[in-house]
């Protein structure tokens, strides 16, 4: 009885999670004519790759958008890791006055609604003349990736036995050498997990991207949004672009799945 | 090689003293053990000596030099930790050679020294393995190797055997003792296992609540404990304390009456006991049980091979004796209890200090 309830629950969950993705993939393989008919004509004979060809060739800006997104996401992930790992280590291990309050503040900042800071940020970036640049987006994204990265890594660092650092101190390592040569190498799973989290967040971000860029930079979510025009929406092409945009993230997640799981679990369960 | 001095050393965490006014002198080449139950301040003392904690007061000297302000590395010590603390991402060779790599020694020199240390510890065939691929004993030897390669002035051991099984623990004891006899490097060893302390130390410092209760050779602390605490902490089975009164026996001599039994006390000793309440104790091997006699009854018999521990009880008293070989006694069997008068120990009941005869 209990087993069947569990199975039913899982089935509902799988349908809810994968249904929209399956629907999106099917849509991306259908010609616009078939999709706009009521009801949509989903006959297998209609299957076509024309939407993919279209978005990758004639509307060449999707490729540019993929490149822009990759740059912004990589920049965000690497800055999150560089700053987040140092901050998390200090909060986990060094005697930082008010460490608990700092951690709560870090979390509170993450809860700020984006709209509150979007306009002020735009004004500041205008003064600094960095609107429509990669750093402008990456720095903004740090405001929501860094808190999570700090919390993930702090949990992981706390689970490392302090004797390792003591042994390194006795061996003659400075605090920074200990961090670089002992702590970071054994924290790779957590670093992967945190880094991929930051990458995905930056990759998918739409709201700040549309406010803080003009013509130089266009990330993938913005490019996808452009398929929805004033007079018509090219559903097939839009979803073909969305499927293409999700490939890098899915590949990253599959390749580093083992690391990600290990990183999250060890960060969560101390000792 | 260096001598070590702790002079009035104390460590406070908030309002709690982890150790208070610790005074200890360790001669060059000596092997000294800090012994005590958990929470007695022995590991804190070792950390203060290593420079892993800052002292709140007092002075730490290594080789005559005050090292209070120096980090662990500048103190020229090497330390073996309780859980080995091997770097999990480095091979055995990299673990052992890490300190030399930090000192930017040439690669050739590092590998030569690592090979040499590995040979001493019989680790040559494991140099390319990761710590997780080693047994507990092998990991412990790698931790030793990491300390050895430093050629330090002082070795510090923080309960290095507590994660090993009993048989391996005894073997590692022999190895450490052999190593010390060969290298003669000043060593400070922390343990809560009195048998371990007795078996490897030149001298033992027994700690209690952050203070050193007694320092002495294994022989001294066993035969002449300064306090009831030391007397009971050292030795297995544990020594029983008997509460009783000093009385004059029928033949005019002095005796110590414990419940229904009275044990003769040498006149010289008795004269020192006149004032105040005292407890009496005796090592289990100085107790004789005579099956032909009466007065007490056997309660529990535990044969251990080379010896048998036998607990006996009588009206108002309980003792555990250690008899040689397999003693054939049965629970409930009546016996008479004899105590060797030359080995009786007396303690002031209030202060716990031993009353010296």
Q: Which two tokens stand for residue A28?
A: 């991306």
**Is the backbone of residue B352 left (phi > 0), alpha (psi -120 to 50) or beta?**
left
For residues A134-153, b (16+ Cβ closer than 10 Å) or e, as one string?
bebbbbbbbebbbbbbbbbb
Residues A31, A145 share a domain: no
Q: Which two tokens stand for residue A255?
A: 């390749």
Residues A246, A181 share a domain: yes
Residues A42, A60 share a domain: no
- The whole-angstrom distance between A190's CA and the closest CA on chain B is 15
Residues A165, A44 share a domain: no
Segment A155-169 mean pLDDT: 90
Residues A76, A126 share a domain: yes
Chain B residues whose beta carbon lies within 8 Å of the beta carbon of residue A271: none
pLDDT tens digit string along B19-34? 999 999 999 999 999 9
Residues A206, A130 share a domain: yes
Protein fold of B241-348: OB fold (Dihydrolipoamide Acetyltransferase, E2P) (2.40.50)
| CB-nearest partner of A166 from B85, B89, B99 | B85
Asked if A163 lies within 8 A of B89 by C-beta distance, the reply is no
- The whole-angstrom distance between A197's CA and the closest CA on chain B is 24
pLDDT, chain B, mean: 91
pLDDT tens digit string along B240-296? 889 888 888 888 888 899 988 999 888 888 778 766 788 999 999 999 999 888 889
B88: contact with A, CB 8 A cutoff: yes
Segment A131-144 mean pLDDT: 91
For residues A35 and A42, give the distance between their C-alpha atoms in angstroms, rounded to a whole number. Answer: 8
Terminal Cα distance for chain B, rounded: 40
A262: contact with B, CB 8 A cutoff: no
Asked if B85 lies within 8 A of A173 by C-beta distance, the reply is no
B82: contact with A, CB 8 A cutoff: yes
Taking CA atoms, what residue in A is nearest to B83?
A: A163
pLDDT tens digit string along A183-240? 988 888 889 889 988 999 999 898 888 888 888 888 888 888 888 777 777 888 888 8
B70: contact with A, CB 8 A cutoff: no
Chain A residues whose beta carbon lies within 8 Å of the beta carbon of residue B102: 171-173, 177
Local confidence band at A60 (pLDDT 50, 70, 90 cut-offs)? low
A180: contact with B, CB 8 A cutoff: no
Substitution target in B89, B101, B139, B155 with the highest count of A β-carbons within 10 Å is B89
Q: Which two tokens stand for residue A209?
A: 């991207």
pLDDT value for A10: 93
Terminal Cα distance for chain A, rounded: 36
Residues A119, A65 share a domain: yes
DSSP B132: G
Question: Token pair 């209030």 is at which residue?
Answer: B350
A245 lies in which domain range?
55-268
CATH of the domain at A118: 1.10.3720.10
Protein fold of B4-233: Rossmann fold (3.40.50)
Which pTM was predicted?
A: 0.79
Residues A149, A96 share a domain: yes
pLDDT tens digit string along B120-172? 888 999 999 999 899 888 998 999 999 999 889 999 999 988 888 888 888 88
C-alpha distance from residue B282 to each of B245, B347, B354 (Å): 16, 11, 12
Chain B residues whose beta carbon lies within 8 Å of the beta carbon of residue A190: none
For residues A196 and A261, give the distance between their C-alpha atoms in angstroms, rounded to a whole number. Answer: 12
Residues A226, A193 share a domain: yes
A261: contact with B, CB 8 A cutoff: no
C-alpha distance from residue B310 to each of B195, B256, B299, B320 (Å): 20, 22, 7, 6
Substitution target in B44, B70, B72, B157 with the highest count of A β-carbons within 10 Å is B72
Residues A102, A62 share a domain: yes
Q: Say if residues B1 and B64 touch (Cβ distance below 8 Å).
A: no
Asked if A186 lies within 8 A of B77 by C-beta distance, the reply is no
- The enclosing H or E element of A236 equals helix A235-255
Residue A264 has pLDDT above 70, yes or no: no
For residues B321 and B310, give the distance between their C-alpha atoms in angstroms, rounded to a whole number. Answer: 5
Q: Which two tokens stand for residue A147?
A: 């808190």
With a CB cutoff of 8 Å and minimum separation 6, the contacts of B45 are B6, B9, B11, B19, B22, B34, B190, B207
Domain ranges of chain B: 4-233, 241-348
pLDDT value for A270: 33
Q: How many domains does chain A have?
A: 2
pLDDT value for B286: 94
Residue B206 has pLDDT above 50, yes or no: yes
- The whole-angstrom distance between B87's CA and the closest CA on chain A is 7
Residues A152, A205 share a domain: yes
Residues A73, A32 share a domain: no
């Amino acid at each position: 009885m209990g087993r069947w309830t569990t199975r039913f629950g899982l089935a509902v969950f799988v349908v809810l999670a994968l249904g929209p993705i399956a629907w999106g993939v099917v849509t991306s393989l259908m010609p616009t004519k078939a999709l706009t008919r009521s009801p949509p004509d989903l006959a297998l004979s209609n299957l076509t790759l024309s939407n993919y060809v279209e978005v990758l060739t004639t509307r060449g800006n999707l490729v540019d958008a993929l490149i822009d997104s990759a740059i912004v996401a990589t920049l965000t992930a690497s800055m999150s890791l560089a700053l987040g790992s140092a901050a998390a280590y200090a909060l986990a291990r060094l005697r930082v006055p008010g460490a608990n309050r700092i951690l709560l503040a870090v979390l509170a900042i993450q809860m700020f609604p984006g709209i509150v800071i979007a306009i002020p940020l735009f004004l500041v970036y205008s003064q600094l003349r960095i609107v429509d640049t990669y750093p402008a987006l990456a720095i903004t994204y740090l405001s929501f990736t860094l808190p999570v990265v700090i919390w993930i890594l702090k949990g992981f660092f706390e689970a490392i036995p302090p004797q390792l650092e003591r042994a390194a101190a006795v061996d003659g390592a400075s605090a920074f050498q200990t961090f670089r040569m002992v702590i970071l190498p054994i924290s790779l799973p957590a670093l992967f997990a945190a880094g991929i989290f930051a990458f995905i967040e930056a990759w998918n971000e739409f709201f700040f991207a549309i406010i803080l860029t003009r013509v130089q930079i266009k990330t993938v979510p913005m490019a996808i949004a452009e398929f929805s025009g004033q007079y018509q929406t090219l559903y097939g092409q839009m979803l073909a672009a969305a499927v293409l945009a999700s490939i890098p993230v899915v590949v990253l997640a599959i390749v580093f799945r083992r690391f990600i799981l290990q990183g999250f679990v060890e960060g969560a369960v101390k000792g | 090689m260096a001598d070590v001095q702790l002079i009035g050393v104390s460590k406070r965490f908030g309002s709690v003293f982890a150790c208070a006014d610790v005074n200890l002198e360790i001669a060059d080449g000596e092997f000294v053990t800090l012994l005590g139950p958990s929470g007695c301040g022995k590991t804190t003392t070792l950390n203060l000596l290593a420079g892993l904690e800052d002292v709140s007061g007092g002075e730490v000297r290594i080789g005559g030099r005050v090292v209070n302000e120096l980090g662990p590395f500048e103190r020229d010590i090497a330390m073996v930790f309780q859980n080995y603390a091997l770097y999990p991402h480095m091979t055995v060779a990299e673990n052992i050679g890490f300190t030399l790599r930090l000192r930017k020694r040439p690669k050739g020199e590092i590998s030569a020294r690592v090979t040499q240390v590995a040979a001493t510890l019989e680790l040559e065939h494991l140099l390319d393995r990761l710590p997780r691929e080693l047994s507990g004993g092998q990991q412990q030897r790698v931790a030793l190797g990491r300390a050895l390669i430093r050629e330090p002035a002082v070795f510090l051991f923080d309960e290095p055997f507590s994660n090993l099984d009993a048989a391996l623990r005894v073997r590692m004891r022999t190895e450490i003792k052999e190593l010390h006899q060969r290298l003669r490097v000043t060593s400070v060893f922390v343990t809560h296992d009195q048998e371990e302390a007795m078996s490897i130390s030149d001298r033992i410092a027994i700690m209690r609540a952050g203070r050193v209760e007694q320092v002495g050779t294994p022989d001294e602390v066993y035969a002449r404990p300064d306090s009831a605490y030391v007397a009971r902490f050292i030795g297995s089975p544990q020594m029983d304390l008997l509460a009783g009164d000093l009385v004059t026996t029928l033949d005019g001599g002095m005796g110590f009456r414990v419940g229904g039994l009275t044990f003769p006390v040498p006149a010289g000793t008795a004269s020192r006991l006149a004032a105040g309440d005292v407890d009496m104790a005796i090592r289990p091997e100085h107790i004789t049980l005579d099956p032909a006699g009466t007065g007490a009854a056997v309660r529990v018999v535990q044969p251990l091979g080379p010896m048998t521990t036998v607990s006996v009880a009588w009206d108002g008293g309980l003792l555990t004796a250690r008899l040689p070989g397999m003693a054939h006694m049965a629970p409930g069997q009546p016996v008479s209890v004899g105590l060797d008068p030359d080995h009786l120990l007396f303690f002031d009941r209030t202060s716990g200090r031993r009353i010296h005869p």
